[in-house]
Amino acid sequence: MAKLFSGLVQQGAWSCLDEFNRIDIEVLSVVAQQLSTVRNALLANAEQFSFEGSVIKLDKKCGVFVTMNPGYAGRTELPDNLKILFRPVSMMIPDYALIAEIMLMAEGFADARVLSQKMVKLYKLSSEQLSQQDHYDFGMRAVKSVLVMAGALKRAHPGLRD
């Protein structure tokens, strides 16, 4: 992680670390110390600073963001010294029907609204009534994959009805 953060701060790059709370607590403690060092350098308006034994330049445009899904098995609670380095933002479940409708419209389907509602209902029922095994995915990724495939079929066979 030190190499990642070193590169980010020197280049002024941003990083989004997905499902951050799946990292082991021991690693999170080290990450907290590293990010605290970067934050202190930013607050001090430093041009360069000592990071993990090397003096590196600091581009103040750098940023680190994390996503977390709390409450699931295998997730850890962030240590307090790491928690204070991030601003929490709550997210809500997206409107799958609206997203599907827009994607279907973009793919050229005239009955996008009706089709999207049917599609979402199908996936909702599937997720509720079919196997709950982890390898079955009835989320947005699966919906998007089917919609993209439907668009490809529509382009391949333009004469077919929606």
What does each C-alpha distance from 60 to 13, 18, 43 come to in angstroms?
9, 22, 10
At 110-136, the pLDDT tens digits run 999 999 999 889 988 888 888 777 667
For the ranges 49-63, 67-81, 88-102, 140-154, the one whose mean pLDDT is highest? 49-63
* Other Cβ atoms closer than 10 A to 5: 20
pTM of the model: 0.62
Q: What pLDDT band is residue 158 in, cutting at 50, 70 and 90?
A: confident
Higher pLDDT, 23 or 44: 44
On whether the CB atoms of residues 154 and 107 are closer than 8 A, the answer is yes
> Which pairing describes strands 14-17 and 63-66: parallel, antiparallel, or unpaired?
parallel
pLDDT in tens, 139-152: 788 888 999 999 99
Class of residue 61 by CB neighbours under 10 A (exposed 0-12, middle 13-18, buried 19+): exposed
What's the whole-number average pLDDT of the chain?
A: 89
Sign of CA dihedral 11, 66, 30, 42: positive
